[in-house]
Amino acid sequence: MSSNLVVGYVGAIATVTINRPHVMNAIDVNTLKELEKLVEQLTDDDNVRVVVLTGAGHKAFVAGADISELQSLSPDQAEEQSRFGQSVYLALEQMGKPIVASINGYALGAGCELAMSCTLRIASENAYIGLPEITLGALPGYGGTQRLARLVGRGRALEMMLTGRAIAAEEALRVGLVSQVVSADDLRTTSLAIAEQLSKQAPVAMNLILTAVAEGLDMTMLDGCSRESELFAKAAQTNDWNEGIGAFLEKRPPIFTGS
């Protein structure tokens, strides 16, 4: 694979590591391009049911965007880069497969935005998460202003972005930005254990759940429930539906095939 991304496989789990430890895994344009291609590959790979995303080393998940690339951008180039980063993160978010962000240190700026694009976020106890772009005279450009407010609420999101304050893992847990905090030594094991649990669930139903939540957030409650019914009907057409219900009635573990 490339020098910026290291990809491995553990059964039906793909592990992806941002591999730029010399700059605390800062995201540059080349890394975004590599991530874009990888997302396409993993989306189409039926052997992959779950993805675990982390950063190389012990200091940072992703410490932010590569600031050296931002210095010389014209306004038009800045907009183009923002839209590109947004498209890559949106493709990640819309893979249709759960992605576990294993946050092993600083997740700032583009790193926080990357983590928020994942389905679940598990943090090491030494993690710090935030959007400090205001301290550079900038603002989040890869979807951060939108995702943070949806995850933690408008008031808390504005406080974090307007002050540039990064919050520690335990506070991130309290406000709902991460779902679990574990020791640094246990982070990889815990992340893989969660991924393993997810990999045994029905893939089609999982995709439909992700779709229902993503689309429903932009709908009224009534429209969201209507969309849920449509997706519920799609699930009823699958072999996994019959397998899951049959296994329950027969008191045995189900074996889901994704069909």
Is 250 a residue of the active site? no
SS3 of residue 94 by DSSP: coil
DSSP lists the bridge partners of residue 9 as 14
- Exactly one of 69, 79, 93, 133 is catalytic; name it: 133
Q: What is the rounded radius of gyration, in angstroms, for the C-alpha atoms of the chain?
A: 19
Distance, CA of 122 to CA of 145 (rounded, Å): 21
Q: 94 is written with which tokens? A: 């819309």
Q: What angle do CA 171, 139, 86 make, to 5 degrees?
A: 90
Q: Which residues pair with 96 in a beta bridge?
A: none
Name residue 92's amino acid: L
Query: H-helix or E-strand containing 39?
Result: helix 29-44
Closest CA to 212 of 195, 236, 199, 229: 229
Residue type, 208: L
133 a catalytic residue:
yes
Q: Which of 36, 113, 125, 196 is catalytic?
A: 113
Cα gap 197→50, rounded to integer Å: 10
CB 238 within 8 A of CB 204: yes
Separation CA 239–CA 259 (nearest Å):
5
* Cβ-contact 192, 13 below 8 angstroms: yes
CA gap 55, 111 in Å, rounded: 10
Catalytic residues, which ones? 113, 133
